[in-house]
Amino acid sequence: MEQKNTVLIDNQVVELNGEKNILELTRKIGIELPTFCYHSELSLYGACRMCVVEIEGRGIMASCSTPPTPGMKILTNSPRVQRVRRTVLELLLANHERECTTCDRNGSCKLQELANRFGVKKIRFGERDIKLPLDQSSPSIVRDPNKCILCGDCVRMCSEVQGIGALDFTGRGSKATVAPAFNKQLSEVECVNCGQCSAVCPTGALVVKDETDKAWAAINNPEKMVVVQVAPAVRVALGEEFGLPAGEIVTGKVVSALKRLGFDKVFDTCITADLTVIEETNEFISRLQQGEKLPQFTSCCPAWVKFAEHNEAEFLKNLSSCRSPQQMFGSLIKKHWAADLGKKPEDIIVVSIMPCTAKKFEASLPHFSTDGVQDVDLVLTTQELARMIREAGLVFEQLDIESFDTPFGFTSGAGVLFGATGGVAEAVLRAAHEFVTGEPIDQINFEEVRGFKHLKEAKVEIAGQEIKVAVVHGLGNAKALLNKIKEGKADYHIIEVMACPGGCIGGAGQPISPSMETKKKRAKGIYNADKLSQLRKSQDNPVVTKFYDQWLEKPNSEQAHEALHTAYANRGRIIGEDIQLLTSKQPDKVDIAVCVGTCCYLKGSYDTLKKFMTQADEAKVREKINLHATFCLEGCEQSPSIKVNNEIINGVTPDQAETVFKEKILTKLKED
């Protein structure tokens, strides 16, 4: 065997060609090693030990974290490897709640799949003796620590891809768990409800909150009219749940299934995506002409909006004030369509079928209501719709094709584009040129903003002015771009942000698939649906024109703003948590709180806190002050923030800590 660039795998000579690890090498030759913690989009972790191989002279090694070197002799299924894998599986199952028949991931659980694959029928170890409470506080995700196998997939997804870090390891040894900071519930930390943690969780430890029972209750209520809207990304993914290829357009079957389930009207969210294009484009043109609040960020993605409210308060003024298409739809139904039918808002139940778990959170926000009634009453994911179809006994592939109902069923291809990363930007570009010049644009496809690059850029000339466009997907990429803007290294006029990798097609509510290839096929389906549309531009939709004439007057009018726009607010990071560091019992003490929430922490508040402790020692005033870390003082735009008694002081960076301590804290002690 050549020693220079080959290895021996199961007695087969395999040439090395830049593979980073043995796992990649085995997959290249058609050997699928089992994994829990390996994802090509995440960092190498090597925690689960399922992908072990036996290497001559080195013994049992994790293939995901071991680079191949020339001359290696590797066995992927030796007796030792088999024993290790089965033992690992038994240990995982011993610490895992095994009520598989009632688990949401029954049939799609990686642990269940591998136990079957390797013939683990009996477990030599005992069962879990302590049952931890479920976290059902989130409107989007249910967290069950009893089913967690500590693979770390959710931790790395939240931190590395989404740039949030709402989950992490806590405890040691047998007490190790994955949980939010301070063992808070998900609703109490800066989780943005994107659900990407559940999309990579191999067991049922993190799952989409199932609300199909509420949908059945609504459908079976004879006193209510139940209407349903379907997001564009659903039509290219639902078929996967029933064995159809990823990306196949199943719009007609989706409509048919929903009508068979008992919904009174089946509508298309793409029509309010068309409305979003018109409102957002007019808003952008106004900002561009006035030269203010630029760049303008899209606001269709509720996870991105919540991320900005938590972490980027200084950019909230840059977000488009447009509601998402989901919320525009609910608002029009409750504020206008209901009245035209002679019904009250509470007489109509609006259900959404979405690829996105964050839409559940968005629909529950108190400001999205009409006369005290939520504009969108219930959000179901693609996964939940598939569950309802199965429960009803419908054979999906045999369903006849049906069309959406009027008036919310006639849409353009631009509205469909919202399902893929870059789609909103492309739809806006199709409209902006015509709105400014009055001339229709010749080329309506903008290939520059398509695809799966982390950052996509385009330059478009409109009426002699160059418009710079950026598109990012994945909140970690958005975070990196925002940092470049702050540093003056990036300059754009309009920026599209989608929280989920790939955009809505990669939403956590979609059929579970870790493969990027699946997302690419779904994106191709979105662009095919656009091509098949008779109308390709939102402004050409005659039903949208009718909505303006009948209900909204004109784009960005007072009526349009009331029904289609919203506002944003700065959010605290962690609720109700206080960490006492120095405590004084003196009545004339000075109380000092240092915010260590995300914005402040990233700008050095932890170092400011340490310097305050050092200053207290040097000035010998430890017994005269209360010093504590807190979340949050809501001074994110000028962070780091501190509070001295009742006075909030912003911008207290570590290099200013000594001056502030002397001028604000020691001075107060002398006054007292």
User: What is the CATH number for 181?
Assistant: 3.30.70.20
Tell me if 464 is assigned to some domain. Answer: yes
Q: Could you tell me if 126 and 150 lie in one domain?
A: yes
Summarize pLDDT for 315-324 with one digit per residue, the tens.
999 999 999 9
Q: Whole-angstrom Cα distance, residue 55 to residue 69?
A: 11
Q: What is the pLDDT of residue 1?
A: 42
Is 572 domain-assigned?
no
In this structure, is residue 235 part of a structural domain? yes
Q: Judge whether residue 10 has pLDDT over 50.
A: yes
* Residue among 345, 386, 353 nearest 369 (CA): 345
β-sheet with 455-462: strand ranges across = 296-297, 494-498, 465-473, 455-462
611: domain CATH number is 3.40.30.10
**Is the pLDDT reported for residue 2 higher than 50?**
no
Please identify, among 505, 537, 564, the residue that sits at the C-terminal boundary of a domain.
Answer: 564
- Predicted local confidence at residue 583, as pLDDT: 66
36 and 173 co-located in one domain: no
- The amino acid sitting at 198 is S
Q: Which of 208, 240, 257 is the last residue of a domain?
A: 208
548 and 595 co-located in one domain: no
Mean pLDDT of 220-236: 97
| Ramachandran category for residue 493: left, alpha or beta (phi over 0 → left; psi -120 to 50 → alpha) | alpha
Show which of 183, 208, 233 is a domain's final residue: 208
Residue 193 and residue 292 share a domain: no
Q: By percentage, how much of the chain surpasses pLDDT 70?
A: 96
Distance CA(380)–CA(571), nearest Å, equals 26
Q: What angle do CA 276, 281, 282 make, to 5 degrees?
A: 105
Q: With 60 as the cut, is the pLDDT of residue 170 above it?
A: yes
Q: Is residue 283 part of a domain?
A: yes
Domain extent at residue 627? 577-671
Asked whether the predicted pLDDT for residue 572 surpasses 80, the reply is no
pLDDT at 340 over 50: yes
pLDDT at residue 634, as a whole number:
65
pLDDT of residue 122: 85
Q: How many C-beta atoms surround the C-beta of residue 393 within 10 A?
A: 7
Question: Do 39 and 181 have their domain in common?
Answer: no
Check residues 584 and 263 and name the one with the higher pLDDT: 263
Q: 19 vs 261, which has greater pLDDT?
A: 261
pLDDT for residue 551 is more than 90: yes
Rounded CA separation 117/114 (Å): 5
3-class SS of residue 664:
helix
pLDDT in tens, 248-296: 999 999 999 999 999 999 999 999 999 999 999 999 999 999 998 999 9
Are 67 and 41 in the same domain?
Answer: yes
Tell which residue, 654, 656, 658, has the closest CA to residue 607.
Answer: 654
- pLDDT in the model for residue 586: 65
Contact 181, 565 (CB under 8 A): no
3-state SS of 484-499 is HHHCCCCCCCEEEEEC
272 domain residue, yes or no: yes
Check: CB of residue 225 under 8 Å from CB of residue 337: no
Number of domains observed in the structure of the chain: 4
Q: What is the CATH number of the domain that holds 49?
A: 3.10.20.740
Do 338 and 319 share a domain, yes or no?
yes
155 in the same domain as 253? no
- Tell me if 571 is assigned to some domain: no
Mean pLDDT of the 492-518 span: 93
Residues 100 and 189 in one domain: yes
pLDDT on residue 579 = 66
Asked whether residue 562 carries a pLDDT value surpassing 90, the answer given is yes
One domain, residues 420 and 436: yes
The CATH number covering residue 484 comes to 3.40.50.1780
Give the tens place of pLDDT for each residue, 620-646: 888 888 888 887 666 666 788 888 887
pLDDT at 128: 76
Average pLDDT over residues 30-48: 84
Mean pLDDT score of the chain: 91
For residues 232 and 268, membership in a common domain is answered with yes
Considering the domain boundaries, does residue 129 fall inside one?
Answer: yes
* pLDDT tens digits, one per residue of 458-486: 999 988 899 999 999 999 999 999 999 99
132 and 38 together in one domain: no
The CA-atom distances, in angstroms, between 47 and each of 116, 150, 353, 370, 479 are 21, 8, 36, 50, 28
Q: What is the pLDDT of residue 299?
A: 96
Q: Assess if residue 1 is contained within a domain.
A: no
